[in-house]
Amino acid sequence: MSDNLAQLLINAEAVASGILFWAGFLVFGFIARRYSVVFKRATFHTLLMTAPSGILLYALLMMIKSSPVIKDASTNMIIQDSAYGVLLISAVFCLAGIIKFNSLIDELLKYKEQK
């Protein structure tokens, strides 16, 4: 397999996985929203649904970095560093949202046991 084809496949995988991660977290946000509506409690579903946008942005930035459009090495470095920063921020918010929702599920389970 030529290097160009391998790089193209890797880029495609990076973008596809970014989109799938974003969709996976978004669907989890929808699940949290359902629980929010049913139990009338804050499930932080907005945080869960918006936080993964950074993962999508990370995939897009990595695709731009790998594209032949940008040839300047310093611009490439800035794009890569921004992508890493965005991934970190997004991951922190995703973790915060999931921990909050998880603690709410614990409360619901305790309530269910008491009933």
Partner 1 sequence: MKFDAALIVYYAGLLILIAAIAIMGVSLKKLTSIVKEKKLIWLLPVFAAAVLAVSLASHIYATFTMLPQLSVNINALSQAAVSQDASRLEPLKAAVASLKSGLVFLKGLSFTCFLLASAMLLASTSIYLRWISK
The residue from 8, 31, 42, 70 that contacts partner 1 (CB under 8 A) is 31
CA distances for 51 relative to 44, 83, 88, 93, angstroms: 11, 15, 11, 5
The residue from 28, 45, 49, 57 that contacts partner 1 (CB under 8 A) is 28
8 near partner 1, rule: CB under 8 A: no
Locate 106 and state its tokens.
Answer: 């614990």
42 near partner 1, rule: CB under 8 A: no
Task: For CA atoms 51, 96, 91, 29, give the dihedral sign.
Answer: negative
Nearer to partner 1, 20 or 42 (CB): 20
84 near partner 1, rule: CB under 8 A: yes
The residue from 16, 41, 67, 70 that contacts partner 1 (CB under 8 A) is 16
Which residues contact partner 1 by CB under 8 A? Answer: 3, 6, 9-10, 13-14, 16-21, 23-25, 27-28, 30-31, 34, 55, 77, 80-81, 84-85, 87-88, 90-92, 94-95, 98-99, 101-102, 105-106, 108-109, 112
